[in-house]
Amino acid sequence: MPSITVNVDDDLKDRMEQHPEINWSEVTRQAIQEKIETLDVMAELTSGSELTESDVAEIADRINESAHDRVESESEYSDE
């Protein structure tokens, strides 16, 4: 299996070392896998479309903001 090197700053490395039970290589592998899957979906959504990946990312950001606002407003109602 090929390997890659990931550089992190000293603070992050110190914080990672506080959790020796975590397999950081596996965490990194999963994060890369999730990002690749997201990019694949974006490519599929934009293929044959006039939307660019940037357009799709902007739409996704707007959806996320809207969802965040809805969760916050629902949270405010549940606090009352």
The total number of residues written for the chain in this structure: 80
Residue 4 predicted with pLDDT over 70 = yes
Other Cβ atoms within 10 Å of 65 Cβ, number: 10
**Structural domain boundaries of the chain?**
25-79
pLDDT of res. 57? 85
pTM above 0.75, yes or no: no
pLDDT of res. 74? 72
Do residues 22 and 16 lie in contact, with contact meaning Cβ atoms separated by under 8 Å?
yes
Greatest pairwise CA separation for the chain in angstroms: 54
In degrees rounded to 5, what are phi and psi of residue 77? -65, -35
CA dihedral 60, 66, 71, 76 (to 10 degrees): 160
